[in-house]
Structure 1
Amino acid sequence: MLKFLLALSVGALFVSPVQATDLYPATKACVPGKPHCERWTAEFKRSLALAQKGDHVAQQTVAFCLYSGCHGAVAIDRVASCSWYLVIADSGAATVLDRSNLRNSCQPMTPAQKDEARALSGELVRKLYNRAPVAGDQI
């Protein structure tokens, strides 16, 4: 059983972000009484599509929603949020606010979570910008 769990946890590091979002949708069903949920669900889906094409503002929205949940519209995933903030930092267009958000979202995580976020961001950088991520740890 231990070997199975180890293989499963190691295998999770090698799932591409696109596959991960296909397997585990980030949006949630909106609960009645949450007026902004449906709007944020639509905004997150639109932003995710644009973020995967390299749009900086859309990447900021995706990272923020994965961190905060965007009024209950998105499942909180701190590792995915951190990985998007790493992509933003590696894009060459990062602002001071982006770097602050990177620190705030990534620093409280465990070393294993940080490693997973680095692996996911590396795959995203390769996919989006057709290059290896910039060397050096930004967390």
Structure 2
Amino acid sequence: MLKFLLALSMGVFCVSPLQAGDITPVMKSCVSAAKPARCEMWTKDFKAALEQAQKGDHGAQGIVAFCLSTGCHGSVTIDKVASCSWHLVIANSGAATVLDASNLRNTCRPMTPAEKDQARALSRDLVQKIYKRPMVATDQM
């Protein structure tokens, strides 16, 4: 877990979209992964983080965004729109840091305008669901 937090602190990379009403990412089978045991560990950790992220846990939201951008050792399908959406949720959490702002820019800026629009729509839904309030416009992407 310490290695993961270190990797998370180094930034997030780029990554395709979830439906606006669906915040459950596509989990992969670890059977064909290069390191199945590591993949299974990430799958378990990701599922726990997603559950906590949906309850407003800032750290868990960072893990979800990170895994959606990197695939977390093959355990999650890479989805750059969903990752960007979670970064926008983090920016709206009230607990965002300078690193979070950097991760938002690094993840979202390389996306097309259409992908950015999808990410904004999904994040609006997520912020409403998680925080029970409208999203604050934050266009650092």
TM-score, normalised to structure 2's length? Answer: 0.81
Q: RMSD over aligned Cα, in angstroms? A: 1.8
Q: Which 4+ runs in 1 deviate beyond 6 A?
A: none
Q: How does 1:45-64 map to 2 (within 5 A)?
A: 45-64=47-66
Q: Matches of 2:114 and 2:122 in 1, distance apart?
A: 12
Taking every aligned residue pair, what percent have the same amino acid on both sides? Answer: 63
TM-score, normalised to structure 1's length? Answer: 0.82
Cross-structure match for 1:29: 29
Higher relative contact order, chain-length normalized (CA < 8 Å, sep 6+): 2
Corresponding pairs, count = 123
Larger Rg: 1
Unaligned runs of 5+ in 2: 1-16
Unaligned runs of 5+ in 1: 1-11
- What SS does the aligned partner of 1:125 have? helix
Cross-structure match for 2:118: 116
Cross-structure match for 2:12: none
Q: Which has the higher helix share?
A: 1
Q: Matches of 2:41 and 2:18 in 1, distance apart?
A: 32
- What SS does the aligned partner of 1:16 have? coil
